[in-house]
Chains A and B, each alone.
Chain A
Amino acid sequence: MPPDLLHDMVAHIVPLVPALPVSAFVAILLPRLFGCAMSERYTYAVVSVGVLGATLFVGMLAALLLAGLGTPSVVGAGRWFAVGHDVFEVTFGLDALGLAYGGFSLLMVALVAAFSRRYLHREQGFHRFYALLMLFAAGLALVSLAGSLDMLLIGWELVGISSTLLIAFFNQRPGPVRNALRAFVTYRACDVGLVLAIVCLHVNFGDADFVRAEGAAWLGMPQRAAAGLALLIGFSLVFAAMGKSAQVPFSGWLPRAMEGPTPSSAIFYGALSVHLGPFLLLRCHEQVHASPLIGGALIVIGLATTAHGALVGRVQTDIKSMLAYGSVTQVGLIMAEIGLGLHLLALLHIIGHAGYRTLQILRAPSLLHDRHHLEQMLGHHVSHAADLDSGSNRWLTLPRVYRHALERGGLDAVLTDRLLGTLLDGLRRLDAVEQRWSGCLARRLLAVLPRGRRRLRAEEKAHVS
């Protein structure tokens, strides 16, 4: 198979991987926009074509990569818009990391889609769930097969939006809606880091594409920046990864994100959406290791998150919060592994953790059944927490420590209520002052005109009565 023939074949296949889920998304929503309600079978058929097609193509690409090409490469697929020398190239990157994570993600999405076929049967939001799941699959495909940071940002934001709208799936209660907004605010605040990193790269080096350094197994971004700029880019990327992967101090949204249906919580916060942060850092490992400061900061953040997750997780009394903090703990460890440079270990850890956490969350509603069965096997009650004088973890039962853990480390209190709350209250006070002075200024101005005076008197009379 001559390399160039192989190259065009790959060039034609790759865009199909994200295109199929997006077309499935459109195919589900378009008929509903014009009022004809489609059956569940139609939606499931469209979804299975979209996801299975994408998984198949990723499998083919992986096979091609292993057999034929052998070398990871960047494939261009045209350009989206160009103004003078600033061009947005649509490029895809094929390497072990991207195909492994992309293939694994699409497989998990396919499995959860099959699982949800029965789980969401006759549910009011059935079609909306699958449309957002397809948007999520497209976002994942774009992130894992992106050829440049710009393409990665597109997939990154699609994942953020579909995650937010799935948290607010049960839109008849204020709880899920409020928690969806909290998740979106965290995503969007941390995306500022990714946008700044991209802009810095474009302005200083003309593009933000991934290239294959010789000898490197994975595609990456050559480290070309001077010391100061490298620090800025590195920390921006770490900041972006911290938001999406719920690292301290931004981990308040993850347990709240469990408002959606169980399958969506499993696939998002057990398996894939939480691991996008580490994937980004694996993709830009040169930037992370540009200076020891960045790597060190990553290790500190990872270990702090692990400690926070472990401490708070031991005190939670509902199954989904416990599993959420289990995820936070493991992702913290993965971040520390990346900080230490153990990239392959981190990738295996991501796939392993995603594997078992998804099944654990899917199995959460069967907890009573499993716990009863386990206690019968053990012959005694599993729960030691029920003992009023729980022996182990003496230090955790100190009031101050227990309260700190029950309040989830005070992150919500400090970050949302104290910092954001005071900022918003200050702005509202500013706004109220402005309303007051502009009101009296307008009144004094109007008093100058004769007609205005009559109108003012009429208004006072109406207000008093």
Chain B
Amino acid sequence: MYPDLMLTAGITCAMLGALLSVLAPDRVVARRAATGALATATLVVGVGLLLHLPERSTLALTPELPWLSARVIAFAALGSGVVALALSPVLRMSRYDLAVLCVLVATAAAVPFAASPWLVCALPLVGFAAATASLAYSRHGCEAAALLVFLPGLLSVLAAVALGLDTASGFAAGLWLLTLVAAPPLHAWYLRLAQALPLNLFAGVVILQASVLESAVAAVPEAVQANVSWLLALAALINSLLAVSQRDARRAAACIVASQLAVGGFAEFSTGEAAVVGGTFVLLTVVTASTGFVLLLGALEARLGTALSLVRPQGCYESWPRLANAFLVLGLVSAGLPLTLGYVASDLVLRGAFAGAAVPTTLVVVSGALNAMTMMKMYLYLFQGAAGRAQPSDLRPRELTVTFGLMVSAFAFAFGLLPG
């Protein structure tokens, strides 16, 4: 039981962070407290993970070791939480937002270890409630808050009750999962959330979604799993198509992340052994690279002060070259650039899932290509295309170190730590 003690200590530490940030006198102290708490939580869970790892050489990441992949996701979630804090502007992030982010990350770390499927459905409700609360207080987000409460919240309760009573639980769990992954037509709440919420809180929601998906297999009954994986593949393609056609950068980013989550979900639910492991890798990419790419989008929007449009190339590379290059690398990693984690994930998913379900896998391949196109369009249109002059607001040292850490972790996972 030794590692579980470390894990619970980590999660309580994250919750403590939320409490501290609310009680702190002003924003700068609150921010330092929250970052400290989350960093210690990450450290604790990381040590727990290393202690428990068998010698690396014999490791073949097979599905028989679910607790290992769950632990890795928890570690990555907490790590990305630290990044989300570091990349957000100091003053614009109120104390309550800091608390909400800590709660989101804590629940994301806790969900993979939920004992019963009922708990898997119920726990995210805590995270969503925190996100809704922050939206309700912020001036402009009222209708999105209402929508948020209605859809995923209600469906989570429905699924939890159905699983508990074991009646029509398949349909309820499936509907809950599809809403969670923002499969169209149930994606309205997600796009509104992306437009209304500050982008680092939205990154917290993405981390929560990824960790819930990781352990969703247990929650969804066997009978329904085949249909759900089919629907998830379809959702991935439609979301990618929506992302390509978007004119607003935030909605495009939300569609891309939803599409990648759907691919992760599809891989988890497929039968092939490699696909399940691939699914974990996809979710790992979402937690590290995709949240990083969303956060950098937030950093750019904070500097420009206006909504980011994808209608024509208007970006200026000289103003913030480091921000542009970091965005390109993280975008390409999440779109599956060769020699990176994204490529390993998509390769495993395709090989594993194609045997069982050829057509959905083809949809996933096409959606992967569309996501890469949207990613390159966002990089080219947001950071290139206009002459300008050097602005004194490129990535700050603290932001650079954290983003660089994120990139190294994405590459490290691809090469070193996990695969034998």
Contact = CB atoms under 8 A, between A and B. Distances in A.
Nearest to B335: A188
Interface stretch (A92-100, A115-123, A171-179): A171-179
A452 B146 contact: yes
B143 A443 contact: yes
Contact of B142 (A195, A200, A452): A452
Contact of A199 (B244, B354, B377): B354
A423 B352 CA distance: 31
Contact of A184 (B150, B192, B376, B420): B376
A126 interface: no
Chain A contact residues: helix, strand, loop or mixed: helix
A438 B245 contact: no
Interface in B302-355: 312-314, 317, 322, 325, 332, 337-339, 343-344, 347-348, 350-352, 354-355
Given A83-B274, A161-B337, A438-B192, A177 B369 contact: no
Given A83-B274, A86-B348, A427 B381 contact: no
B158 interface: no
Contact of B354 (A33, A172, A200): A200
Contacts of B6: none
| B338, B365, B381: most-surrounded residue (chain A CB, <10 A) | B338
B385 A171 contact: yes
Contact of A442 (B147, B314, B387): B147
A446 B142 CA distance: 8
Interface string A443-465: 10110010010011001000000
A189 interface: yes
A412 interface: no
Contacts of A172: 317, 385-388
Given A171-B317, A434-B185, A442-B192, A177 B381 contact: yes
A431 B313 contact: no
Contacts of A424: 244-245
A171 B384 contact: yes
B269 interface: no
Contacts of A391: none
Interface in B347-372: 347-348, 350-352, 354-355, 361-362, 365-366, 369, 372
A30 B313 CA distance: 27
A403 B298 CA distance: 47
Interface in A140-164: 150, 153-154, 157-158, 161, 164
A86 B276 CA distance: 12
A164 B332 CA distance: 13
B337 A203 contact: no
A427 B317 CA distance: 30
Contacts of A173: 385, 387
Interface in B184-208: 184-185, 187-189, 191-192
B143 A203 contact: no
B47 interface: no
Interface string B50-92: 0000000000111000000000000000000000000000000
A217 B388 CA distance: 55
Contacts of A171: 317, 383-385
B262 interface: no
Interface in B377-406: 377, 380-381, 383-388, 404
B192 A459 contact: no
| A86, A200, A428, A437: most-surrounded residue (chain B CB, <10 A) | A86
Contacts of B277: 83
Contacts of B381: 177, 181
Nearest to A426: B245
A17 B249 CA distance: 40
B274 A86 contact: yes
B417 to A, nearest CB: 11
A431 B242 contact: yes
A20 interface: no
B345 to A, nearest CB: 10
B365 A199 contact: yes
A423 to B, nearest CB: 8
B351 A431 contact: no
A434 B188 contact: yes
Contacts of A178: 312-313, 385
18 contacts: A80-B419, A82-B419, A83-B273, A83-B277, A84-B273, A88-B344, A174-B313, A184-B373, A188-B372, A200-B354, A427-B241, A428-B245, A430-B242, A431-B242, A434-B187, A435-B191, A438-B188, A445-B146
The 3 closest A-B pairs by CB, nearest first: A438-B188, A81-B419, A442-B143
Interface of B: 60-62, 142-144, 146-147, 150, 184-185, 187-189, 191-192, 241-242, 244-247, 251, 273-274, 277-278, 312-314, 317, 322, 325, 332, 337-339, 343-344, 347-348, 350-352, 354-355, 361-362, 365-366, 369, 372-373, 376-377, 380-381, 383-388, 404, 414-415, 419-420
